[in-house]
Amino acid sequence: MKKKKITQVSVRQFNKPVNLIFNIIIAIFALSCILPFLFVVAISVTKESAIMSHGYSFWPSQFSFDGYTFLFGQMKSQILQSLLVTVTVTVSGTILNSSIVSLYAYAISRNNFPFRKFFTIFALITMLFSPGMVATYLVTTNLLHLGDTIFALIVPSMVNVFNIIVMRTFFKRSVPDAIIESARIDGASEMRIFTQIVLPLAVPGVATISLFAALGYWNDWFNALLYIQNDNLIPLQYLLMKIQNNLQYLMQNAVAGAQLQGGLASLPGESARMAIVVVSILPIVISYPFFQRYFVRGLTIGGVKE
């Protein structure tokens, strides 16, 4: 009876006018997230001369795909190769990151593990105190010999302490000790308990950290800048950044621009930049709705249950 009474009070606190206000605020926040992307898409399909004459607008005065034509026409084969590298790195890196993080977090979340405090503090120290870029570079190239290999794009980001803390909290709050103890009594090994009992209960948490890891690998270009010299191993983000830098150089250098057929006016500067943004984030935008329900459940772990 006491629980029902508290529930009724909490419901009465949010009447219709208050709910309407909150809905309006959330709608404004959602529009503030969606409108910039739509604005970028609109600029990417606007003719360059129209942008120079009328400025930016949400609805193009003259439609044109010159930005995408320039982007894929200049380096079509290289973009496809870089896209393949990025997809390979993202998929394999996400699987490795989620597996290692889940195993580590599960170990430090169990009260019967005697070294859980040591490994928890050890992980937190690595998050608070970074060894620096020089030490990381020396370890990756001289110690692990991963320079100019695809593993240089995967290994440095394979473990994330923030994801470990998220999964540790998820395991402690969502996996009852009674289930694990009953499995141990039945003779199940720790690996079988983890794979057949814990992981099915932790799907929202695994999906959450997988999304974080996938975003990190997909948007990473700095590791390629440090470790990759082979053009066949350049990821998409780093290639797009190089194209943007070259485009900016051509737009600012009058001598280089004069050598182009038609001069600088034929170069789709702004629309090509926006096309680069669309190409770089569109796959993530498409895949995010499939992870949304798991993502929300994973972030709200620890909330009050009805």
- CATH number of the domain that residue 186 is part of: 1.10.3720.10
* Mean pLDDT computed over 97-124: 88
The answer as to whether 293 is a domain residue is no
DSSP letter at 154 equals T
Domain range enclosing 223: 75-267
The answer as to whether 223 is a domain residue is yes
Write out pLDDT tens, residues 44-53: 888 877 777 7
Q: Name the residue with tokens 């690996």.
A: 191
The answer as to whether 120 is a domain residue is yes
CA distance 161 to 167: 10
CA distance 108 to 106: 6
Give bridge partners of residue 46 from the DSSP assignment.
Answer: 63
Nearest CA to 71 out of 270, 306, 287 is that of 270
The answer as to whether 209 is a domain residue is yes
The answer as to whether 186 is a domain residue is yes
66-74 helix and 76-109 helix, angle to the nearest 10 degrees = 90
Quote the number of domains for the chain. Answer: 1
Residue 103 reports pLDDT greater than 60: yes
Please tell me the pTM assigned to this model.
0.74
The answer as to whether 233 is a domain residue is yes
For residue 297, name the pLDDT band (cuts at 50, 70, 90).
low
Write out pLDDT tens, residues 147-196: 889 999 999 888 888 889 888 888 888 888 788 888 888 888 888 888 88
Q: What pLDDT does 10 receive?
A: 44
The answer as to whether 161 is a domain residue is yes
For residue 7, name the pLDDT band (cuts at 50, 70, 90).
very low
CA distance 182 to 83: 47
Three-class SS state of 268:
coil
Total residue length of the chain: 306
The answer as to whether 24 is a domain residue is no
Q: How many helices (H) and strands (E) does the chain have?
A: 16, 0
